[in-house]
A and B are shown apart, each in its own frame.
Chain A
């Protein structure tokens, strides 16, 4: 009897693990589905023939709620990334989109960014991230940030090195409320940072951080570190504390194997929780793969709503599959 098979199977499984039972008919499958629904377990896959006989894969417990696991701020569609441009004053050796001074100019444009931000806010996006390239190389970056920040909390990613002349004037024009600057700094001393980003870049970035903090901006420092030696991280956090960076705004992340990075964490669409990303060429699954054709969702930028819907639905399906496939323990 299928109910007894299910009860015996559950006795062999920990919460979240899956196993298989066989069913001989569509009626047995229906009973299995009802029993699982009643007992708080989940049928995650059915491999059945035309007569309804075959194998059911059953998970002990309910699928984990992605909102609980990821947090509401990391759910797909909560964030919208926009690549304002791809050219940069630096040529970092691990840049995930291979930006450099030689990169051809590709820009979304202030007007389109404003339209996308408005559509995203209407759809339910809660936060905007502007990145590049180096956004502060754009003459109208102040206007761009302002148009986003009047709709949603906005973070601008920058290397902090071009806050002078026109760049400084643009920075000063940006509202402080609802805006955070995320500045890249990889170490508490110049050498590790400069090794990846170029001689003298660390000192300029630190000066940029101090300038932005002095102007009243919320500054988040993001470090890209492959394998920190003992003590490196704690020294780095002490250094950031001294610069006045809040603990929650000190972000350390691994190197992604994308763009010009020759080594790092291999990220695939299946392993990435999507963070919807717009470039001038299309909508992508995640900002670390914004030049990767495998991560391209659509070339159509506007309207943005279909892509937001598609990625959210794809993630829901991917989450359900992952929840079912995890820890599969076939039972004899």
Chain B
């Protein structure tokens, strides 16, 4: 019997614990010892990536920035294994108070832009990258940062709520938030007359299961096969999928990380922390 894999993740909410308890039970319940796993939770993504590089975990459940940093720190000796369907086509949404009259990227030039935590790819790094691509450099914007969940890469959503509340309070004109946060708020369906969408970026990729290329395929392949075999139509699988926020696991879409690699380079973001 082969040794179980150790998967690392970040405990950004207490709910991470029951989620991983259920994921572990799924992998360990079958008669396939090659897929067996345990998990370790870290307080932030810096610790998680360090643990992956040190060999303390075999696989890391990384955010997009953690994946990019793992690739940069290993000189591309990483293997991308799988991601959620909801990690593909992720976007950043720019919202303003209803009736602001702002439309399109160019309307954000000269405005007060509220961003989430500086290490949040979707609420801080990529918004500035896409705005620059659209002809609105950071120097043309008054940036207001809410670094309220540093280390969690924006997973808590807390800094995005702070940014939106600044807009509603009149302290900022526009907030950049993840499309999942915008959906979770209920958009204008639950907040009619409060907020409206000004612009949104192209799609990019978010989280990724990452290993080092020193992990032999025969060690991770049974685990990966079982991960990809989760079925939305199976009620026991569906409960896990709902908790983790996806309908199915998919193979990596590496093109979706190119914007973040570019943004990290443009903005001089530290490859480690």
Contacts and interface: CB of A to CB of B under 8 A. Distances in A.
Interface string A98-128: 0000000000000000000000000000000
A35 B186 contact: yes
A52 to B, nearest CB: 18
Given A4-B161, A4-B164, A16-B18, A11 B190 contact: no
Interface in A5-34: 7-8, 10-17, 31, 34
Contacts of B19: 15
B190 to A, nearest CB: 6
A8 B161 contact: yes
B241 to A, nearest CB: 12
B214 interface: no
A12 B164 CA distance: 19
Given A3-B185, A35-B186, A11 B191 contact: no
Contacts of B132: none
A40 interface: yes
A68 B203 CA distance: 39
B157 interface: yes
Contacts of A17: 14
B190 A35 contact: yes
Nearest to B15: A14
A105 B173 CA distance: 84
A11 B13 contact: yes
A14 B184 CA distance: 17
A323 to B, nearest CB: 15
A38 B190 contact: yes
Interface string B17-42: 11100000000000000000000000
Contact of A15 (B165, B168, B243): B243
Given A3-B186, A31-B190, A60 B15 contact: yes
A16 B185 CA distance: 21
Contacts of B15: 10, 13-15, 60
Interface string A35-53: 1001110000000000000
Interface in B41-58: none
Contacts of A8: 158, 161
Contacts of A11: 13, 156-158
A46 to B, nearest CB: 18
Nearest to B242: A40
A13 B14 CA distance: 6
A16 B239 CA distance: 13
Contacts of A1: 165, 168, 191, 194
Nearest to B22: A15
Interface residues of B, number: 21
A40 B15 CA distance: 14
Contacts of B18: 14-16
Which of B15, B161, B168, B242 has the most CB atoms of chain A within a 10 A radius of its CB? Answer: B15
Contacts of A13: 13-15
A39 B14 contact: no
Looking at A7, A10, A34, the one whose CB has the most chain B CB atoms below 10 A away is A7
A28 B130 CA distance: 36
A213 to B, nearest CB: 33
B14 A7 contact: no
Nearest to B161: A4
Nearest to B18: A15
Nearest to A34: B190
A8 to B, nearest CB: 6
A39 B243 CA distance: 11
Contacts of A35: 186, 190
Contacts of A3: 185-186, 190-191
B186 A34 contact: yes
Given A15-B18, A17-B14, A39 B164 contact: no
A11 B14 CA distance: 7
Contacts of B243: 15
A7 B17 contact: no
A81 to B, nearest CB: 31
Interface in B186-232: 186, 190-191, 194
A34 B189 CA distance: 10
A329 to B, nearest CB: 9
A12 B17 CA distance: 12
A35 B17 CA distance: 24
Contacts of B165: 1, 4
A17 B186 CA distance: 22
A145 B191 CA distance: 63
Interface of B: 13-15, 17-19, 156-158, 161, 164-165, 168, 184-186, 190-191, 194, 242-243
Interface of A: 1, 3-4, 7-8, 10-17, 31, 34-35, 38-40, 60
29 contacts: A1-B168, A1-B194, A3-B185, A3-B190, A3-B191, A4-B164, A4-B165, A7-B185, A8-B158, A8-B161, A10-B13, A10-B15, A11-B156, A11-B157, A11-B158, A12-B13, A13-B13, A14-B13, A14-B14, A14-B17, A14-B18, A15-B15, A16-B18, A31-B190, A34-B186, A34-B190, A38-B186, A39-B184, A40-B242
Given A13-B13, A39-B184, 17 more contacts: A1-B168, A1-B191, A3-B186, A3-B190, A4-B185, A7-B161, A8-B158, A10-B15, A11-B13, A11-B157, A12-B14, A13-B15, A14-B13, A14-B14, A14-B15, A34-B186, A34-B190
Q: Which 5 A-B pairs have the closest CB atoms?
A: A14-B14, A14-B15, A15-B18, A4-B161, A11-B13
